[in-house]
Amino acid sequence: MSKLVVTAVGPVTSVQDGGRSGAQRYGLPPGGAADRLALAAGNCLVGNPPFAAAIEIGPFSTSFTVREGRVRVALTGAARSADVSGRPVSFNESCTFGDGDSLTLGVARDGTFSYLAIEGGVKGEPMFGSLAVLARAGLGSPFPRPLQAGDVLDVEAATTGAEHGIELPGQDDGPIRIVMGPQDDEFGEATGLFLGSEWKISATSDRMGYRLEGPIIEHLHGHNIVSDGTVNGSIQIPGNGQPIVLMPDRGTSGGYPKIATVMTADLGRFAQIPVGRGFRFKSVTVAEAQAEARAMADLLRTLPGRVRAVRNTDIDDALRNANIAGTAVNAFDSGTWQT
């Protein structure tokens, strides 16, 4: 067993996995990774089940240090600078580092969440079938809260063998696709304004809901309805007319009208939109959303087949096994440097 020590961390970094299922009837949100594809890809790179627990890293700088042995990890999701004790680390490839080495990550670029998958997964005691942190409910393991500097995670010691890389399909950078309803009839002509406007993620957003900044969406009959069920991606319109897109830590029911729902296949892409970046919505049919959901499920299922061994890039081994100076010469023996 090895240990991974959190040496520096931002406020929204936590342990997340595939989330909890089967308990929404009791008011327990599903939680889990905001970008399931990135989580699954990272886990496949280190030989874990796709939705094993990993570290979901928010947009701020973070660093970890290994204690006792060697650890194999993989970084996926939002790109950022990354190095192990000064040596660059690539995204979408596994790497192994040893006792005393530090993994240092910069701020996220063109995204929000990165994922640090660890060979053998994060160790902890499942709570309602999951390690995923749900801070508002005090759930999660090994810590029922976001990670803090000084936290120590027990992890498996790295196995021997080649490192691996994975090639993922290019990300769609078009509008976020939504299915209108179930209460879009509560907004009349304002639905056109909703679809025709540019929106931005507010800095007040969190894993419970992304608050949007843009034009005011007015209700026809007031902003209160009889509370009904919500899903990940439900878009509520509260009394101030500014939409809220519900995220994995959402409540399981709500009393604001829901103008639309982000389709499942675009949830991860939506979660990665940085604060302040403009984007638009596009309405699609239920059949189109279902087809994209099946395609996403097929991609997740076939991720292990996309993993390939890559050349060992351990810098210490490379220096030992390479003559970086070229052909050796002797300054006192002209025969070695003159022809």
Q: Is residue 128 predicted with pLDDT exceeding 50?
A: yes
Tokens standing for residue 256: 């604001």
Cα–Cα distance measured from residue 21 to residue 208, given in angstroms and rounded to the nearest whole number:
17
CA nearest neighbour of 194 among 175, 217, 223: 217
Q: Is residue 201 predicted with pLDDT exceeding 50?
A: yes
**φ, ψ for residue 207, nearest 5 deg:** -70, -10
Q: What would the mean pLDDT of 134-155 be, rounded to a whole number?
A: 95
Q: Is residue 292 predicted with pLDDT exceeding 70?
A: yes
Query: How many other C-beta atoms can be found within 10 angstroms of the C-beta atom of residue 199?
Result: 21
3-class SS of residue 334: helix
Q: What would the mean pLDDT of 35-61 be, rounded to a whole number?
A: 97
Q: What would the mean pLDDT of 94-108 be, rounded to a whole number?
A: 94
pLDDT at site 318: 47
pLDDT at site 1: 81
Q: Is residue 314 predicted with pLDDT exceeding 70?
A: no
Q: What residues does 308 pair with on adjacent strands?
A: 165
Q: Is residue 206 predicted with pLDDT exceeding 80?
A: yes
Q: What would the mean pLDDT of 156-169 be, rounded to a whole number?
A: 92
**Confidence band, pLDDT 50/70/90 cuts, at residue 122:** very high
Q: Is residue 74 predicted with pLDDT exceeding 70?
A: yes
Q: Is residue 158 predicted with pLDDT exceeding 80?
A: yes
Q: What would the mean pLDDT of 42-61 be, rounded to a whole number?
A: 97
Tell me the per-residue pLDDT of 240-284, one tens digit each, with 9 for 90 and over.
Answer: 999 999 999 999 999 999 999 999 999 999 999 999 999 999 999
Cα–Cα distance measured from residue 79 to residue 75, given in angstroms and rounded to the nearest whole number:
9
User: Do residues 233 and 267 lie in contact, with contact meaning Cβ atoms separated by under 8 Å?
Assistant: yes
Q: Is residue 320 predicted with pLDDT exceeding 50?
A: no
Cα–Cα distance measured from residue 314 to residue 328, given in angstroms and rounded to the nearest whole number:
24
CA nearest neighbour of 27 among 143, 108, 126, 139: 139
Q: Is residue 30 predicted with pLDDT exceeding 50?
A: yes
Q: What would the mean pLDDT of 79-89 be, rounded to a whole number?
A: 92
User: Do residues 248 and 31 lie in contact, with contact meaning Cβ atoms separated by under 8 Å?
Assistant: yes
pLDDT at site 240: 95
Tokens standing for residue 51: 């939705």
Q: What is the pTM of this model?
A: 0.89
pLDDT at site 243: 98
What angle do the packed helices 36-45 and 286-302 form, to 10 degrees? Answer: 10
**Confidence band, pLDDT 50/70/90 cuts, at residue 319:** very low
Query: Which domains are seen in the chain, by residue range?
Result: 2-170+302-318 (no CATH), 176-284 (2.40.100.10)
Cα–Cα distance measured from residue 229 to residue 250, given in angstroms and rounded to the nearest whole number:
11
Tell me the per-residue pLDDT of 13-23, one tens digit each, with 9 for 90 and over.
Answer: 999 999 999 99
Cα–Cα distance measured from residue 51 to residue 67, given in angstroms and rounded to the nearest whole number:
25
Task: Provide the residue count of the chain.
Answer: 339
Q: Is residue 142 predicted with pLDDT exceeding 60?
A: yes
Tokens standing for residue 290: 């279902």
Cα–Cα distance measured from residue 110 to residue 97, given in angstroms and rounded to the nearest whole number:
27
Cα–Cα distance measured from residue 108 to residue 110, given in angstroms and rounded to the nearest whole number:
7
CA nearest neighbour of 52 among 34, 71, 39, 70: 39
Q: Which amino acid is at 100?
A: G
3-class SS of residue 61: coil
Average pLDDT, the chain: 92
